Amino acid sequence: MKISLIGSGNVATHLACALYDLKHQIVQVYSPNCQNAQLLAQRVKAQPIDQLKKLQPTDLYLIAVKDSAIGEVAKQLASLNIDGLVVHTSGSTALDAIKHSSPYYGVFYPLQTFSKGKAVDFAQVPLLLEGSHAEVLQQLDILARQLSPQVYHYSTQQRRSLHLAAVIACNFSNYLYSVADGYLTGQGVEFDLLKPLILETAAKVQEHAPIEMQTGPAVRQDQGILDMHRHMLDSQPQLQQLYQLLSAGIMQLHTKP
Amino acid sequence: MKISLIGSGNVATHLACALYDLKHQIVQVYSPNCQNAQLLAQRVKAQPIDQLKKLQPTDLYLIAVKDSAIGEVAKQLASLNIDGLVVHTSGSTALDAIKHSSPYYGVFYPLQTFSKGKAVDFAQVPLLLEGSHAEVLQQLDILARQLSPQVYHYSTQQRRSLHLAAVIACNFSNYLYSVADGYLTGQGVEFDLLKPLILETAAKVQEHAPIEMQTGPAVRQDQGILDMHRHMLDSQPQLQQLYQLLSAGIMQLHTKP
């Protein structure tokens, strides 16, 4: 497929490189920031552009920009009378948000966390698809299965629910890792020691329901340790509040009838 | 070594099995609940006992009971005039809590999450040691290195800090997985799709600082998505509060000078 890439962030970069490795042709990479477009374009042998009106006709226009910019991109594409397939890659933006961009449009959402400097194995990434027409969905399905065996046809609402759950389970977990890191640094203790435990905690729920894998003082109702931890956080009221709220949540979840 | 095991929960079970596999002799397993003691004793060919006064002399008395019960166990051991080495396995209990139990005492804390029905590779488990005497520490060090290359001599305070950080990074993350699971079940969407993302989130921080790996709407300051997620949680005020607090935490952490 001839593909135009709109965006040059983490999702755009990982998708572009994966599609390029599959021998698809990335024709152009658009970014309002010319330098970002150039960096990615160089890696996938594409032409960098900093204006959407410079887009050449291709089979697929892949929008991988932040959610708040998708509407504006769709509007500009609409004025270009594109007839290729336009898809966005967002977990939370409706299919309809790009309905004026082209007669054929869809969603191609990779449910994974992408960071610069960390390679992604797309075979491990669930891909959630939505299409304006059955033919669009079929075309996206063929493309998606080249990247991953985990392909799902999900409605906007289902995709949004998953995205929200992903924020809770993953973005928030990473935040807790950061908080633990910051706390340990303040105590002169190495964060490195926590790494096997962090990995094991995630590994356990691959095969078991998380509610059955809960450990720690809150689920044991160990008031002595909970009190001690609260005192240890006396000088950090925000962290103390977080500790209390999450401990109370665990206790409540595990005392329900 | 001849070892007496005091306790029959998750930590006791995993430690007993690992030490048994290393050809140490587990002589007796104590639990106030006779059935629990029997179950574990059977697996490691030990004698189950339900009274501490039935303890035979051994080299090592391993206390793996909940934190709030350690003091009472130590008190009972003191009355038995034990002269073997007594150690507890708790992240948050002071070394001094067992100082009357025997002339020689210490701490042997495995920094990992143990659940029934999930095997543990001790080679991946950091072991934190403390001892009443240099000789005790040396003896525990030799035993620990049979289980894991990751052996650390940590003070009670350092160990407590690590335990608190572990609760934040791991027990709370598991809680967030449970919350995401519960939310998705309510939406008729499969939790399974989140599993690769959960694993990748934990894998990323093995090599990179968590603060650099943060993704999601809060760190992008994407107010549109944050607002949408808040509305999606209108009917679940507790979850909504959790979402708000953690999102605010991420934004604050990432806007600090």
Inspect the interface and report whether the beta carbons of B214 and A180 lie closer than 8 Å: no
The crossing angle, in degrees rounded to 10, of helices B156-166 and A223-232 is 100
Q: Are residues A35 and A145 in the same domain?
A: yes
Inspect the interface and report whether the beta carbons of B202 and A202 lie closer than 8 Å: yes
- Report the pLDDT value the prediction gives residue B98, as an integer from 0 to 100: 97
Q: How many domains does chain B have?
A: 2
Q: Are residues B178 and B226 in the same domain?
A: yes
The Cα of B93 is separated from the nearest Cα of chain A by a number of Å equal to: 8
Inspect the interface and report whether the beta carbons of A200 and B120 lie closer than 8 Å: yes
- The rounded radius of gyration (Å) of the Cα atoms in chain B is 22
Inspect the interface and report whether the beta carbons of A197 and B241 lie closer than 8 Å: no
Q: Are residues B148 and B188 in the same domain?
A: no
CB contacts of A238 in chain B (<8 Å) are: 249
- Report the pLDDT value the prediction gives residue A256, as an integer from 0 to 100: 65
Q: What is the mean pLDDT of residues B183-204?
A: 95
- Report the pLDDT value the prediction gives residue B256, as an integer from 0 to 100: 65
Q: What is the mean pLDDT of residues B105-126?
A: 89
ipTM of the complex: 0.89
- Report the pLDDT value the prediction gives residue A225, as an integer from 0 to 100: 92
Tell whether B53 is within 8 A of chain A (Cβ): no
Inspect the interface and report whether the beta carbons of B199 and A203 lie closer than 8 Å: yes
Q: Are residues B139 and B190 in the same domain?
A: no
Q: Are residues B140 and B15 in the same domain?
A: yes
d(CA A218, CA A223): 8
Tell whether B210 is within 8 A of chain A (Cβ): yes
| Confidence class for position B120, pLDDT limits 50, 70, 90 | confident
Inspect the interface and report whether the beta carbons of B67 and A117 lie closer than 8 Å: no
Domain of residue A225, CATH code: 1.10.1040.20
Instruction: Report the percentage of chain A scoring pLDDT > 70.
Output: 99
Q: Are residues B35 and B136 in the same domain?
A: yes
Q: What is the mean pLDDT of residues B191-204?
A: 96
Tell whether A153 is within 8 A of chain B (Cβ): no
Q: Which of B100, B214, B109, B212 has its CA nearest to residue B160?
A: B109
Task: Answer whether residue B141 shows pLDDT above 80.
Answer: yes
Domain extent, residue B148, equals 2-154
Length, in residues, of chain A: 257
The Cα of B85 is separated from the nearest Cα of chain A by a number of Å equal to: 25
Q: Are residues A112 and A164 in the same domain?
A: no
Is residue A185 a contact partner of residue A191, using CB atoms and an 8 Å limit? yes
d(CA A206, CA A89): 25
Task: Answer whether residue B205 shows pLDDT above 80.
Answer: yes
The Cα of A59 is separated from the nearest Cα of chain B by a number of Å equal to: 29
Q: Are residues B124 and B243 in the same domain?
A: no
Q: Which of A40, A57, A55, A41 has its CA nearest to residue A1?
A: A57
Upper half-sphere CA count for residue A60 (Cβ side, 13 Å):
24
**pLDDT tens readout for residues A135-159:** 999 999 999 999 999 999 999 999 9
Tell whether B78 is within 8 A of chain A (Cβ): no
**Chain A contact probe: residue of B171, B222, B233, B256 with most A CBs at under 10 A:** B171
Instruction: Nearest by CB to A115, from B92, B215, B243: name it.
Output: B215
Q: Are residues B108 and B224 in the same domain?
A: no
DSSP assignment of chain B? -EEEEE--SHHHHHHHHHHHHTT-EEEEEE-SSHHHHHHHHHHTT-EEES-GGGPPP-SEEEE-S-HHHHHHHHHHHHHTT--SEEEE--SSS-GGGGTTS-SEEEEEEE-S---TT----GGG--EEEEESSHHHHHHHHHHHHHH-S-EEE--HHHHHHHHHHHIIIIIHHHHHHHHHHHHHHHHT--GGGGHHHHHHHHHHTTTS-GGGG--STTTTT-HHHHHHHHHHTTT-HHHHHHHHHHHHHHHHHTT--
Instruction: Nearest by CB to B198, from A179, A205, A212: name it.
Output: A205
Q: Are residues B14 and B139 in the same domain?
A: yes
Inspect the interface and report whether the beta carbons of A215 and B171 lie closer than 8 Å: yes
Inspect the interface and report whether the beta carbons of A197 and B168 lie closer than 8 Å: no
Q: Which B positions 85-144 lie with beta carbon below 8 A of chain A?
A: 92, 111-115, 117-118, 120, 124-126
For the four alpha carbons of B155, B158, B161 and B165, in that order, the dihedral sign comes to: negative
Instruction: Nearest by CB to B196, from A124, A162, A214: name it.
Output: A124
Domain of residue B46, CATH code: 3.40.50.720
Which of the listed residues A154, A184, A210 is the one where a domain comes to its end? A154
Nearest Cα residue in chain A from B188: A158
10-residue mean pLDDT profile of chain A (257 residues): values are: 95 96 97 89 96 96 94 96 95 95 97 82 95 98 97 96 97 98 95 96 95 93 93 96 96 85
Which of the listed residues B102, B128, B154 is the one where a domain comes to its end? B154
d(CA B210, CA B170): 13
Which of the listed residues A154, A177, A212 is the one where a domain comes to its end? A154
Inspect the interface and report whether the beta carbons of B113 and A66 lie closer than 8 Å: no
Inspect the interface and report whether the beta carbons of A178 and B253 lie closer than 8 Å: yes
Inspect the interface and report whether the beta carbons of A174 and B201 lie closer than 8 Å: yes
Structure tokens at A134: 């059955």
Q: Which of A57, A40, A59 has its CA nearest to residue A48?
A: A40
Q: Are residues A95 and A186 in the same domain?
A: no
Q: Are residues B71 and B137 in the same domain?
A: yes
**pLDDT tens readout for residues B155-170:** 999 999 999 999 999 9
Tell whether B238 is within 8 A of chain A (Cβ): yes
Q: Which A positions 165-194 lie with beta carbon below 8 A of chain B?
A: 165-184, 187-189, 191, 193-194
